[in-house]
Copies of this chain bind each other. A is one copy, B any other.
Amino acid sequence: MAGSSFGTLFRITTWGESHGEGVGVVIDGVPAGLPLEQAQIQAYLDRRKPGQSKYTTARSEADRAHILSGIFEGKTTGTPISIAVYNEDQRSRDYTAIASCFRPGHADFTFARKYGFRDYRGGGRSSGRETIGRTAGGAVAAAVLGQLGITLTAYASSIGPVTCDPARFDRDRIAASPLCMPDEAAEREALAFLDDCIKEKTSAGGTIECRIEGLPAGIGEPVFDKLDAQLGKALFSIGAVKSVEIGDGIAASRALGHENNDTYQKGPDGRPVKASNHAGGIYGGISDGSTVLVRAGIKPTPSIARPQEMLLQDGTTGVVTIGGRHDPVIVPRAVVVVEAMCAVTVLDLLLQNASATMDNLRRIYPKKD
């Protein structure tokens, strides 16, 4: 089944395996007339690039985005934008070890069971490199949204047990931070925690938040294509995500109704202001014009340097130590992927909402006399 596409009006279709010729994406439904340069896409890809600190793997690839179609004289033409990133690190390696076992925490076993066999080189299609295509797609979506005054900001809100304090939220430090954390104190603590993980030959997970600001009210399509439903699908489609929360999320299940309801107050100028945003900017699956807040929980990296008892290709079990360098945490590299998937989701629903009312249609298609 064709599961490699996401979106209805704005649709990304990704392709490529870890150790094949490359990875890429076809981005279809891009509105025509958007100024777009390679550098805008490259900037997104650079944010997920490996080898940026000792906490992420050292595979040294340029991951350069090649734009193959859809742009003419610096503007989008309305036709599909095809982007390829060719794999450079394909040196012939000995995969015998990895081919003979199903790595714990990975999709080796399920791919083999689904398709009858598997591409055992580095995870094949379930590799993290698959996210390159999404990230490029998100860069294009974010460019469209940016022109309409809509911005997205994702960051690591926790690493292992260390959680950022919203009171110390500093947007400006996210980009430069090795962990993409907006809270300097939390980051120091997280770095120490990760050093311990490395020492203990284990790994950590964390949570990634994304704030979507400037989004007009009315985005999201009841009843199944709700904004939160599509965000949920988008984020769970990222490998390693095991939870998704909107607004207060899991905490809302324990709250009382009178605490959790977002009410309005008279603002200083007499105009109504929302007194809280427990709902994360979404009601009935539709944006309410305030900041949309979504949070994805990431499991600890499954590849660890410890010996583990696992299922073998021959049907028995055995204790194996998986070699190679491993990321003690993938959260920092996944931050831009979360942001990208949110951008793709929001843009698709924004396009869908453009034809929601007769008033909108009359604006686009004025009746000739």
Complex alpha-carbon distance, A364 and B280, angstroms? 24
Q: Are A304 and B82 in contact (CB under 8 A)?
A: no
Q: Are B68 and A31 in contact (CB under 8 A)?
A: no
Is A277 at the interface (CB under 8 A from chain B)?
no
Is A169 at the interface (CB under 8 A from chain B)?
no
Query: Closest approach, in angstroms, between the C-beta of A348 and any C-beta of chain B?
Result: 9
Q: Are B356 and A253 in contact (CB under 8 A)?
A: no
Is A56 at the interface (CB under 8 A from chain B)?
no
Chain B contacts of A360 at CB under 8 A? 31, 354, 364
Q: Are B222 and A231 in contact (CB under 8 A)?
A: no
Q: Which of A45-53, A124-132, A173-181, A182-190 lies on the face that meets chain B?
A: A124-132
Given A232-B233, A236-B228, A262-B104, CB of A353 within 8 Å of CB of B245: no
Looking at chain A's contact residues, the main secondary structure is mixed
Is A286 at the interface (CB under 8 A from chain B)?
yes
Query: Closest approach, in angstroms, between the C-beta of A254 and any C-beta of chain B?
Result: 5
Q: Are B261 and A22 in contact (CB under 8 A)?
A: no
Chain B contacts of A309 at CB under 8 A? 263-265, 275
The chain B residue with its CB closest to the CB of A66 is B21
Complex alpha-carbon distance, A309 and B126, angstroms? 49
Q: In the complex, which range does the number of interface residues on chain A fall in?
A: 35 or more
Chain A 212-241 against B: per-residue CB contact (8 Å), 1 yes, 0 no? 001011111111111011111111110101
Q: Are B106 and A257 in contact (CB under 8 A)?
A: no
Q: Are A217 and B79 in contact (CB under 8 A)?
A: no
Complex alpha-carbon distance, A225 and B265, angstroms? 42
Q: Are A247 and B236 in contact (CB under 8 A)?
A: no
Complex alpha-carbon distance, A244 and B358, angstroms? 31
Chain A 23-52 against B: per-residue CB contact (8 Å), 1 yes, 0 no? 110101101111000000000000000000
